[in-house]
Amino acid sequence: MPDSAPRPSVATHCPYCALQCGTRLGHGASGTVVEPSDFPVNDGSLCQKGWTAPAVLDVPDRLRRPLLRGPDGRLAPADWDTALDTVATRLRRIRDEHGPDALAVFGGGGLTNEKAYLLGKFARLALRTSQIDYNGRFCMSSAAAAQNAAFGLDRGLPFPVADLDAADTVLLAGANPAETMPPLMRHLRKADLIVIDPRRTKTAERAALHLQPVPGTDLALALGLLHIAVSDGWCDKEYVQERTTGFDAAWRRAVTWWPERVEQVTGVPVAEQRAAVELLGEARRAYVLTGRGAEQHSKGSDTAAAFINLALALGLPGVAGRGYGCLTGQGNGQGGREHGQKADQLPGYRMITDPEARAHVARVWGTAPDALPGPGRSAYELLDALGTEGGPRALLVFGSNPLVSAPHSGHVAGRLDALDLLVVADFVPSETARTADVVLPVAQWAEEEGTLTNLEGRVLRRRRLLPPPEGVRTDLEVLHGLAVRLGEPAHRFPTAPRQVFDELRRASRGGTADYSGITYERLDAGEALHWPCPERPGGQPHPGTPRLFLDGFATPDGRARFAEVDHRDPAETPDADHPLYATTGRVLAHYQSGAQTRRVPELNDAVPEPYVEIHPDTAERSGLREGGTARVTSARGTTVARVRLVGSMRTDTVFLPFHHPGAGRANLITATALDPRSKMPEFKVCAVRIEPGSDAP
Amino acid sequence: MSAMHHVLVVGHGPAAHRLVERLRAHGHRGPVTVLGAERRPAYNRVLLTSVLDGTLTAGDLELPAPPDGVRVRTGVTATDVDRARRLVRTDTGETHRYDRLVLATGARPRIPRLPGLLTADGRLTEGATTLRTADDAEQLADGPVVVLGAGALGIETTLALLRAGRDVTLVHPGPHPLHDRLDDTAGALLASRLRSAGARLRAGRAAVEYRPGKLVLDDGEVLRADALALCTGVVPETTLARRAGLAVRTGIVVDRHLRTADPRVHALGDCAEFDGEVPGLVGTAWEQAESLARILAGHDTHHRAGRPLLRLRAPGLDLACLGPPEPSGATRHITLSDPARGRHAALALDGDRVAGAVLIGLPRAAAALAQLYARGLPVPSDRFALLLGTPAGAHPARVELPDAAVLCHCNHVTKADLLRAWRAGARDLAGIAAATRATTGCGGCADDVRLVLASATGAPATPSTGAQATATSATGGNGAP
Residue A6: predicted pLDDT: 61
Nearest to B393 among A182, A230, A647 (CB): A647
Is B311 inside any structural domain? no
pLDDT at A1 > cutoff 60: no
Per-window interface: A 221-250 vs B, CB < 8 A:
230-233, 249
Which is more confidently placed, A481 or B468?
A481
Residue B390: predicted pLDDT: 63
Is B250 inside any structural domain? yes
Confidence of residue A656 (pLDDT cuts 50, 70, 90): very high
Residue B391: predicted pLDDT: 53
B309 Cβ under 8 Å from any chain A Cβ: yes
Q: B437 Cβ partners below 8 Å, 6+ apart?
A: A46, A48, A51, B408, B411, B413
- In angstroms, the CA A513 to CA A502 distance is 15
Residue B448: predicted pLDDT: 87
pLDDT at B455 > cutoff 90: no
B318 Cβ under 8 Å from any chain A Cβ: yes
CATH code where residue B265 lies: 3.50.50.60
Is B1 inside any structural domain? no
**Mean of the pLDDT values across residues A566-587?**
96
Same domain, B384 and B446: no
**Mean of the pLDDT values across residues B375-393?**
79
A624 Cβ under 8 Å from any chain B Cβ: no
What mean pLDDT, rounded, does chain B reach? 90
Is B99 inside any structural domain? yes
* Among chain B residues, CA nearest to A265: B371
H helix intervals, B198-281: 239-243
Query: For residue B138, how far is the Cα from the chain centroid?
Result: 23
B363–A200 CB contact, under 8 Å: no
pLDDT at B481 > cutoff 50: no
Residue to substitute from A257, A270, A625, interface B, most B β-carbons within 10 A = A270
pLDDT at A665 > cutoff 70: yes
End residue of a domain, out of B177, B198, B232:
B232
Tens digit of each residue's pLDDT (9 = 90 or more) over B251-261: 999 999 999 99
Residue A5: predicted pLDDT: 55
Backbone angles phi, psi at A24, to 5 degrees: -120, 125
Closest by CA position to B11, among listed B64, B62, B78, B83: B78
Residue B398: predicted pLDDT: 43
Mean pLDDT is lowest, of A6-20, A169-183, B286-300, for A6-20
B366–A269 CB contact, under 8 Å: yes
End residue of a domain, out of B336, B353, B388:
B388
Question: Which pairing describes strands A192-196 and A450-453: parallel, antiparallel, or unpaired?
Answer: unpaired
Expressed in angstroms, the distance from the first to the final Cα of chain A is 65
CATH code where residue B421 lies: 1.10.10.1100
Confidence of residue B403 (pLDDT cuts 50, 70, 90): confident
Same domain, B38 and B176: no
Backbone angles phi, psi at B209, to 5 degrees: -160, 145
Which is more confidently placed, A329 or A112?
A112
Nearest to B410 among A48, A255, A621 (CB): A48
Mean pLDDT is lowest, of A215-224, B11-20, B400-409, for B400-409
Tens digit of each residue's pLDDT (9 = 90 or more) over A36-45: 999 999 999 9
How far, CA to CA in Å, does A681 sit from each of A571, A576, A635, A687, B285?
Answer: 10, 24, 15, 15, 32
- In angstroms, the CA A151 to CA A319 distance is 13
A607–B478 CB contact, under 8 Å: yes
H-helix or E-strand spanning residue A529:
none
- In angstroms, the CA A655 to CA A619 distance is 13
- Tell me the sheet residues that pair with A397: A106, A424
Tens digit of each residue's pLDDT (9 = 90 or more) over B59-103: 999 999 999 889 999 999 999 999 999 999 999 999 999 999 999
Question: Which pairing describes strands A438-441 and A421-426: parallel, antiparallel, or unpaired?
Answer: parallel
Residue A621: predicted pLDDT: 94
Residue to substitute from A17, A35, A37, A47, interface B, most B β-carbons within 10 A = A47
Closest by CA position to A107, among listed A556, A541, A442: A442
Q: Is the peptide bond before B327 cis (omega within 30 degrees of 0)?
A: no
Same domain, B220 and B368: no
- In angstroms, the CA A108 to CA A95 distance is 24
What mean pLDDT, rounded, does chain A reach? 96
pLDDT at A518 > cutoff 90: yes
Q: Which residues of B touch A652 (CB under 8 A)?
A: 375, 377
Tens digit of each residue's pLDDT (9 = 90 or more) over A226-255: 999 999 999 999 999 999 999 999 999 999
A676 Cβ under 8 Å from any chain B Cβ: no
pLDDT at B480 > cutoff 80: no
* Among chain B residues, CA nearest to A620: B381
Residue to substitute from B159, B411, B414, B436, interface A, most A β-carbons within 10 A = B411
Is B113 inside any structural domain? no
Shortest CA gap B240–chain A (Å):
28
Q: Which residues of A touch B61 (CB under 8 A)?
A: 255
Tens digit of each residue's pLDDT (9 = 90 or more) over A79-107: 999 999 999 999 999 999 999 999 999 99
Confidence of residue A696 (pLDDT cuts 50, 70, 90): low
Same domain, B55 and B144: no
B235 Cβ under 8 Å from any chain A Cβ: no
A48–B312 CB contact, under 8 Å: no
Residue to substitute from A38, A48, A184, A590, interface B, most B β-carbons within 10 A = A48
Q: Which residues of A touch B407 (CB under 8 A)?
A: none
A118 CB-side CA count, 13 A: 31
**Mean of the pLDDT values across residues A185-212?**
96
Same domain, B76 and B163: no
Confidence of residue B387 (pLDDT cuts 50, 70, 90): confident
A607–B470 CB contact, under 8 Å: no
Is B344 inside any structural domain? yes
What superfamily does domain A157-327 belong to in CATH? Dimethylsulfoxide Reductase, domain 2 (3.40.228.10)
- In angstroms, the CA B258 to CA B275 distance is 10
Task: State how many domains chain B has.
Answer: 4
A607–B479 CB contact, under 8 Å: yes
Per-window interface: B 278-297 vs A, CB < 8 A:
283
ipTM: 0.90
Query: For residue B389, how far is the Cα from the chain centroid?
Result: 19
Closest by CA position to B321, among listed B307, B331, B332: B307
Q: Which CATH class is domain A9-58?
A: mainly beta
> Exposure pattern of A375-403 as b/e (b: 16+ CB <10 Å)?
ebbbbbbbbbbbbeeebbbbbbbbbbbbb
Closest by CA position to B10, among listed B268, B384, B348: B268
CATH code where residue B375 lies: 3.30.390.30
Per domain, the residue ranges of chain A are 9-58, 157-327, 580-692
End residue of a domain, out of B213, B232, B251:
B232
Ramachandran bin of A260, using left for φ above 0, alpha for ψ from -120 to 50, beta for the remaining angles = alpha
A255–B313 CB contact, under 8 Å: no
Question: Which pairing describes strands B107-109 and B128-130: parallel, antiparallel, or unpaired?
Answer: unpaired
A523 Cβ under 8 Å from any chain B Cβ: no
A588–B443 CB contact, under 8 Å: no
A185 Cβ under 8 Å from any chain B Cβ: yes
Shortest CA gap B391–chain A (Å):
6
Is B310 inside any structural domain? no
Helix axes A270-282, A218-231, angle to 10 degrees: 60
pLDDT at A115 > cutoff 60: yes
Per-window interface: B 381-420 vs A, CB < 8 A:
381, 389, 391-394, 409-412
Backbone angles phi, psi at A116, to 5 degrees: -60, -40
B479–A609 CB contact, under 8 Å: yes
Secondary structure E strands in B312-368: 319-322, 332-338, 343-350, 353-360
**Mean of the pLDDT values across residues A283-312?**
97
Nearest to A648 among B363, B374, B393 (CB): B393
pLDDT at B133 > cutoff 80: yes
Q: B122 Cβ partners below 8 Å, 6+ apart?
A: none
Confidence of residue B469 (pLDDT cuts 50, 70, 90): very low
**CATH level 3 topology of A580-692:** Barwin-like endoglucanases (2.40.40)
Its domain, for residue B261, covers 7-107+235-296
H-helix or E-strand spanning residue B125:
none
Q: Which residues of A touch B481 (CB under 8 A)?
A: 627, 642
Nearest to B443 among A45, A232, A588 (CB): A45
Residue B479: predicted pLDDT: 33
Residue to substitute from B379, B406, B478, interface A, most A β-carbons within 10 A = B478
